[in-house]
Amino acid sequence: MNGVSFEIAPGEALGLVGESGSGKSLTTRAVTRMLDRAFEVGGTIEFDGTSVLDMNQRALRRYRQNDVGMIFQDPRAHINPVHRVGDFLTEALVRDRGVSQKDADGRAAQLLDEVGVRNARARLQQYPHELSGGLLQRVMIASVLLAEPRLILADEPTTALDVTAQSDVMAIIEEQRKARGMSLLFITHDLELAAACTDRLAVMYAGEIVEQGAHVYTAPRHPYTIELLGARPSIDEKVDRLPVLTYNRELHDQLKAEALA
């Protein structure tokens, strides 16, 4: 990746869109400093004026626990299947913050209720395999909100869900984010969804951000953004072949500079 630069203000939501392999997920891993050691990282990553790259292990652990929360694409891959839902939600509160198990259970049940999980107390006793994908993603959201982070990184949190569940999950994230004054970096392939629930869009192509701003969805400037928007499925138009953008480094750099100007 190269030339990836963006800012997220307190309480702001930024949508990061682009095709598979463009570098979206790597960007979130860089923000949390979770890239493999084989990667060479340059430039600066700052959170509230503090360099993430210069944090020692203790500060980095505190940063990941308190300041940044991650909502993953597939909750089943990130929730221990042999632990009950309640244990997954309350472990960090009890171990790292000294909250009693009783109080932690109460907080977890209340938050599950807020994110649309019925019979929350009973759900705490269940195992992940007993919950649907939509419910399990709500559990993942609740686990992030319990930590009360200032920035949420949502890496395609709705991809594995059906359309109805997608809408519900994003509504929950948006409602909770606004109520708690959190910032959001929302990664997705769904341009319309990103435009609906974020303040600005940033478009990634070949490991770079080629265009960003509030105008991207309605008045794109870079050819890739235009072609990306044109590749959206439509029930009103029959398309025999999707448009193809030929990569030209010199032209790409020129158009990127114009789009970001």
CA separation for the pair 139, 31 (Å, rounded): 23
In this structure, are residues 12 and 200 in contact, taking their beta carbons and an 8 Å threshold? yes
More reliable by pLDDT, 102 or 73: 102
- The model's pLDDT over 162-195, given as tens digits with 9 standing for 90+, comes to 777 777 878 888 888 888 899 999 998 888 888 8
% of the chain residues with pLDDT over 90: 44
**Strand pairing of 183-188 and 151-155?**
parallel
Whether the per-residue pLDDT at 106 is higher than 90: the answer is yes
Residue 195: partners with Cβ closer than 8 Å, 6 or more residues away: 15, 201, 216, 217
Domain 13-73+151-260 has CATH 3.40.50.11720: no
User: Hey, where are the domains in the chain?
Assistant: 13-73+151-260
pLDDT by residue (tens digit) across 191-232?
A: 888 888 899 999 998 888 999 999 999 999 888 888 888 777
Q: What is the pLDDT of residue 248?
A: 61
Give the rounded percent of residues in the chain with a pLDDT score beyond 70.
Answer: 92
Confidence of residue 251 (pLDDT cuts 50, 70, 90): low
How many of the other CB atoms lie within 10 Å of CB of 78?
15
Residue 32 has pLDDT above 90, yes or no: yes
pLDDT at 245: 61
Give the predicted TM-score (pTM) of the model.
Answer: 0.85
